[in-house]
Amino acid sequence: MTETKPFNSTEYMNHISLDCVIFGFNNNELKVLLLHLKYSKEYALPGGFLKYDETLEQAAQRIVKERTGLDKLFLKQFKVFSDPDRSKSNKAIFDADMAGIKPDKSFFDKRFISVGFYALVDFRKVKPTPDLFSDHCDWVSLNTDVSMLLDHKLIIENAISTLRLQLSQQPIGLKLLPRKFTMPELQTLYETILGRDLDRRNFQRKMLNYNILDKLKERKTGGAHKSPYLYSFNMERYQKALEDGLSGIW
Amino acid sequence: MTETKPFNSTEYMNHISLDCVIFGFNNNELKVLLLHLKYSKEYALPGGFLKYDETLEQAAQRIVKERTGLDKLFLKQFKVFSDPDRSKSNKAIFDADMAGIKPDKSFFDKRFISVGFYALVDFRKVKPTPDLFSDHCDWVSLNTDVSMLLDHKLIIENAISTLRLQLSQQPIGLKLLPRKFTMPELQTLYETILGRDLDRRNFQRKMLNYNILDKLKERKTGGAHKSPYLYSFNMERYQKALEDGLSGIW
DNA sequence: ATAATAATGTGTCGCAATGACACTAGGTGT
DNA sequence: ACACCTAGTGTCATTGCGACACATTATTAT
């Protein structure tokens, strides 16, 4: 699916688009996978349109696979963006034009409402792949302020708020971390999403009390200072625990 | 806005519809406002389509106003329903036909993805008003099992799950209850949404500790047995408390 | 080597929130 | 007057949580 087919607007439904906020966690930072548009020099969310025989969820999986190479990812709808003016002055068209792609104006000029999805992925497994309109595809830290297409900055902010609210209801840690991880890494992930510091000792106690982690014999070596233990999620217990929601608000 | 204009499909965007799950609380039961279709004899959610210059939120307000007479209601998107087959065998068309409304087939025959909204309203203020396709508009208790159009039963189930998850983040009590209410009423509302019983004394203690209620001098008279005190929400403090979320899961 | 540095592992203490539960007070109907 | 039902209020033991201290282990500087 790395083949780059020309864009054919007749395959897609009018008026409906998708934007995917793909979260990854690396170097103790929460990052989002963004496309850098060839000519307008802005960043844009990976997005796309709905085929006639797809659900939105299937379309989102397809779009995310094209940008990451990954299958069957954790994806959630979080909001529809429907401001009538949101897709005006769509620089993506301009970009397509400049790229010599001959966009179908009667398709792109229409009003689009966009369904926002967020995805949680294991950073290391992703092969960032640009699309027809972009020259590269990068992980961008949430602290970095870059110029973005249309309302994409708003969409990312909404995704983060949702992530924060759903931290206790969705398997966020499981999806964002590699299989083996350390307690400090898990804590930093939580701190990044919540936007505030947590007490190291209380965090560990609470996490362990959930009884969803397996402490491994191994330690993570190589880093400076004392080697932390590695943990992995106990899938069964984690899944079961999420059904009620991990009690408490962090 | 009680005027009944003929349906003109050219005012609306193709492919996009809305369905509104309007919740009310009466007689200690959670109820949903439904339309009863004239000819197919099924119940349907109040719904409609998106005008070219509206946001989805504005469309939802418009739709809910037409069915309830109420303005500026509490409305939240909760999910988009996009199964490609969801709008097949759309009995609403049949119903329109039978009602002699001459529906624009080229509009209705298209595939629609539907954005689900839920609304929280004060039961007593609503004037249920049927639309062109329906013969009446009723409050239906969630315990009642009625035959419903398309995937509308699924949509309602999703709305309730969302309501449950958001019970601590949204002003649900405030919007569903009259200005003055009793503690047992508030408790029953919580129990209905959560689907389980709560301890009377612990519930009261926890609620009062949030410091969001004003205990009034009055008592609710007329009922059998001991008269309960009336309470009202302290808007400022409630609003402020919700910003963090009412701590704890019920 | 040795010490300084910095991060991790582990434990304690007191307060506040929670769940389980019992008694009293105020209404109705007989 | 009494039974019956519902509402108001209080207690107690346990748990959860925030604040905090000390020991351990790895790297790095001297």
pLDDT digit string, tens, across residues A4-39: 567 888 899 999 999 999 999 999 999 999 999 998
From the list B214, B226, B227, B141, the residue with the least C-alpha distance to B179 is B214
Binned at pLDDT 50, 70 and 90, residue A50 comes out as very high
Task: Give the pLDDT of residue B90.
Answer: 67
Residue A7 and residue B49: Cα distance in Å, rounded? 29
Write out pLDDT tens, residues B221-247.
Answer: 888 899 999 999 999 999 998 887 787
Among B53, B56, B111, whose Cβ lies nearest the Cβ of A80?
A: B56
Hey, is the C-beta of A1 within 8 angstroms of any chain B C-beta? no
Residue B12 and residue B51: Cα distance in Å, rounded? 4
Angle between helices A183-194 and A200-210 (to 10 degrees): 100
Q: Please give the average per-residue pLDDT across B164-190, as a whole number.
A: 94
Among A16, A53, A248, whose Cβ lies nearest the Cβ of B84?
A: A53
Nearest nucleic acid nucleotide to A230, CA to C1' distance: C8
Q: Nearest protein residue to C7's C1' (by CA)? A: A225
Contacts of A79 in chain B (CB under 8 A): 77
User: Who contacts A70 (Cβ-Cβ below 8 Å, separation ≥6)?
Assistant: A64, A121, A125, A126
Q: Do A50 and B16 touch (CB under 8 A)?
A: no
**Does the pLDDT of residue B45 top 60, yes or no?**
yes
- Identify whether the C-beta of residue A105 lies closer than 8 Å to the C-beta of residue A93: yes
Task: Give the pLDDT of residue B1.
Answer: 46
Token pair listed for B129: 């008003």
CATH number of A11-165: 3.90.79.10
Range in A37-41, A121-125, A140-144, A197-201 the model is least confident about: A37-41
Within 187-216 of chain B, which residues have Cβ less than 7 Å from strand C?
Answer: 199, 201-202, 205-206, 209
CA terminus-to-terminus distance, chain B: 40
Q: What percentage of chain A exceeds 70 in pLDDT?
A: 93
Task: Give the pLDDT of residue B102.
Answer: 73
User: Who contacts A223 (Cβ-Cβ below 8 Å, separation ≥6)?
Assistant: none
**CA/C1' separation B184–D5 (Å):** 14
Run of H or E residues at A116? strand A113-120
Where do we find the tokens 């009310």? B24
Residue B244 and residue A12: Cα distance in Å, rounded? 41
From the list B123, B161, B115, the residue with the least C-alpha distance to B141 is B123
Residue A230 and residue B22: Cα distance in Å, rounded? 49
* Contacts across the A-B interface (CB distance below 8 Å): 62
Mean pLDDT across chain A, nearest whole number? 91
**CA/C1' separation A232–D4 (Å):** 58
From the list A153, A159, A147, A149, the residue with the least C-alpha distance to A80 is A159
Angle between helices A183-194 and A152-165 (to 10 degrees): 120
Residue B27 and residue B192: Cα distance in Å, rounded? 12
CATH number of B180-244: 1.10.10.10
User: B100 versus A241: which is more confidently predicted?
Assistant: A241
- Identify whether the C-beta of residue A234 lies closer than 8 Å to the C-beta of residue A243: no
Binned at pLDDT 50, 70 and 90, residue B2 comes out as very low
- Identify whether the C-beta of residue A189 lies closer than 8 Å to the C-beta of residue A176: yes
**Does the pLDDT of residue B4 top 70, yes or no?**
no
**Does the pLDDT of residue B206 top 60, yes or no?**
yes
- Identify whether the C-beta of residue A9 lies closer than 8 Å to the C-beta of residue A92: no
Residue A230 and residue A219: Cα distance in Å, rounded? 5
Write out pLDDT tens, residues B11-43.
Answer: 999 999 999 999 999 999 999 999 999 988 999
Chain A residue with Cα closest to B247: A249
Residue A112 and residue A12: Cα distance in Å, rounded? 12
Write out pLDDT tens, residues A169-183.
Answer: 888 999 999 999 999
Hey, is the C-beta of A243 within 8 angstroms of any chain B C-beta? no
Best of A53, A87, A113, A166 to disrupt the B interface by mutation (most B CBs within 10 Å)? A113
**Domains in chain A: boundaries:** 11-165, 172-244
User: A1 versus A99: which is more confidently predicted?
Assistant: A99
Q: Please give the average per-residue pLDDT across A220-249, as a whole number.
A: 87
Q: Please give the average per-residue pLDDT across B105-127, as a whole number.
A: 93
**Does the pLDDT of residue A131 top 60, yes or no?**
yes
Burial per residue of B143-156, b for 16 or more beta-carbon CB atoms within 10 angstroms, e otherwise: eeeeebbbbbeebb
Chain A residue with Cα closest to B56: A82
Among B52, B113, B169, whose Cβ lies nearest the Cβ of A56?
A: B113
- Identify whether the C-beta of residue A18 lies closer than 8 Å to the C-beta of residue A47: yes
Task: Give the pLDDT of residue A98.
Answer: 72
**DSSP secondary structure code for residue B112 in this structure:** -
Token pair listed for A93: 């068209």
Most confident of A81-90, A208-217, B87-96: A208-217
Residue B80 and residue B113: Cα distance in Å, rounded? 7
Residue A68's Cβ-side half-sphere holds a number of Cα atoms within 13 Å equal to 31
Best of A50, A82, A88, A169 to disrupt the B interface by mutation (most B CBs within 10 Å)? A82
Residue A12 and residue A16: Cα distance in Å, rounded? 9
Angle between helices B183-194 and B152-165 (to 10 degrees): 120
Residues 66-105 of chain A whose Cβ lies under 8 A from any Cβ of chain B: 77, 79-80, 82-84
Q: Please give the average per-residue pLDDT across B47-54, as a whole number.
A: 96
Write out pLDDT tens, residues B143-171.
Answer: 899 999 999 999 999 999 999 989 988 88
Residue A158 and residue A32: Cα distance in Å, rounded? 13
Q: Nearest CA of chain A to the CA of B124: how many Å?
A: 31
User: B4 versus A109: which is more confidently predicted?
Assistant: A109
Hey, is the C-beta of A55 within 8 angstroms of any chain B C-beta? yes
Task: Give the pLDDT of residue A246.
Answer: 79
Write out pLDDT tens, residues A54-93.
Answer: 999 999 999 999 999 999 999 999 999 999 999 876 666 6
Q: Nearest CA of chain B to the CA of A82: how many Å?
A: 5
Residue B88's Cβ-count burial label (10 Å; 0-12, 13-18, 19+) is: exposed
From the list A250, A208, A246, the residue with the least C-alpha distance to A229 is A208
| Fold exhibited by the domain A172-244 | Arc Repressor Mutant, subunit A (1.10.10)
The two beta strands, B12-26 and B113-120, are parallel
Contacts of B17 in chain A (CB under 8 A): none
Beta-bridged to residue A35, according to DSSP, are: A44, A137
Hey, is the C-beta of A161 within 8 angstroms of any chain B C-beta? no
Beta-bridged to residue A29, according to DSSP, are: A26
**Does the pLDDT of residue A203 top 70, yes or no?**
yes
Task: Give the pLDDT of residue A223.
Answer: 78
- Identify whether the C-beta of residue A7 lies closer than 8 Å to the C-beta of residue A132: yes
Residues 162-191 of chain A whose Cβ lies under 8 A from any Cβ of chain B: 165, 169
Among A16, A54, A77, whose Cβ lies nearest the Cβ of B15?
A: A16
From the list B86, B80, B42, B225, the residue with the least C-alpha distance to B158 is B80
**Does the pLDDT of residue B91 top 90, yes or no?**
no
Hey, is the C-beta of B14 within 8 angstroms of any chain A C-beta? yes
Beta-bridged to residue A114, according to DSSP, are: A17, A81
CATH architecture of B9-165: Alpha-Beta Complex (3.90)
Q: How far is CA A76 from CA A159, A163, B60, in A?
A: 10, 10, 22
Q: Do B52 and A83 touch (CB under 8 A)?
A: no
Q: Nearest protein residue to D21's C1' (by CA)? A: A201
Task: Give the pLDDT of residue B100.
Answer: 72
**Does the pLDDT of residue A2 top 60, yes or no?**
no
Task: Give the pLDDT of residue B101.
Answer: 72
Hey, is the C-beta of A16 within 8 angstroms of any chain B C-beta? yes
Mean pLDDT across chain B, nearest whole number? 91
Residue B150 and residue B92: Cα distance in Å, rounded? 9
Within 52-71 of chain A, which residues have Cβ less than 7 Å from strand C?
Answer: none
Task: Give the pLDDT of residue A1.
Answer: 45
Q: Nearest protein residue to C10's C1' (by CA)? A: A201
